[in-house]
Amino acid sequence: MIRILFWAAVIYVAFWLWRRYKLAGQRKAPAGKKGHTLTMVRCAHCGVHLPDDRALKRGEHWFCSPAHLEQGPAGRAR
């Protein structure tokens, strides 16, 4: 009976340590994204705000889609 309790305790501690290690790995930030912040930019055609890594840039203007990039900046000031 003592052997069963001993092995049950060993298995429980091993499982607990494994889960703790697994959860600690998930909390860490990805190495590639560390220190990089996204800037929100505004589409020159429609005025939608989006992160700069998803926007398209032509000259000094940002656009939200290839269609708006082709159409260019809006005629009126926003």
Asked if the model's pLDDT at residue 67 lies above 90, the reply is yes
Q: Residue 7 falls within a domain, yes or no? A: yes
4-22 pLDDT, tens digit per residue, is 999 999 999 999 999 998 8
22-59 pLDDT, tens digit per residue, is 887 776 656 555 566 889 999 999 999 999 899 999 99
The number of distinct structural domains making up the chain is 1
pTM (two decimals): 0.50
Q: Residue 25 falls within a domain, yes or no? A: yes
Q: Taking a C-beta distance cutoff of 8 angstroms, is the pair 41, 50 a contact?
A: yes
Selection from 9, 22, 72, 13 nearest residue 43 by Cα: 72
Q: Residue 19 falls within a domain, yes or no? A: yes
Selection from 63, 66, 69 nearest residue 48 by Cα: 63
Q: Residue 51 falls within a domain, yes or no? A: no
Q: Residue 27 falls within a domain, yes or no? A: yes
Question: Which string of DSSP letters, residue by residue, matches 7-73?
Answer: HHHHHHHHHHHHHHHHHHHHHSPPGGGTT----EEEBTTT--EEETTT-EEETTEEESSHHHHHH-S
